[in-house]
Amino acid sequence: MTTSLGSLELAALLSVARLGDDAYGLAVRQDLSARANRDYSVGAIYTTLQRLEDKGLLTSRASEPLPVRGGRSRRHFKLSAAGTRALRDAERHATSMWAGVGRGLRPKLA
């Protein structure tokens, strides 16, 4: 069964996958902002991450309280097995959609 993902959800999942152990709200936000060249609000990022967690695509754990966060802990996110499957499905779907499109139109990945 495939889970339908919004564009921000897919981007957040990819960011978590990319960041690995360092995937927490601020890092995901900075990563997405840098790649999309736009500012995402903290609320938007956390709402998306929480939705992904509700869907079972992410898991989260709280770190120890950190001085740099005014004594608050970080919430680290990690891809679940379902999240990994969802990313693969999304890639397969994208590849399938791009199939047959001329080379000139294909995006050049960095």
Q: Which stretch binds another protein (CB under 8 A): 9-17, 59-67, 80-88, 90-98?
A: 59-67
Residue 44 to residues 22, 26, 39, 40, 47: CA-CA distances in angstroms? 19, 12, 10, 7, 5
Residue choice 21, 37, 38, 71 for contact with another protein (CB under 8 A): 71
Q: Does 8 bind another protein (CB under 8 A)?
A: no
The nearest distance, CB 67 to another protein, in angstroms, is 4
Q: Does 90 bind another protein (CB under 8 A)?
A: no
Contact assessment for residue 10 and residue 58, using Cβ atoms and an 8 Å cutoff: no
Residue choice 20, 22, 33, 62 for contact with another protein (CB under 8 A): 62
Q: Which of 103, 109, 79 is nearest to 17 (CA)?
A: 79
Q: How many residues bind another protein (CB under 8 A)?
A: 23
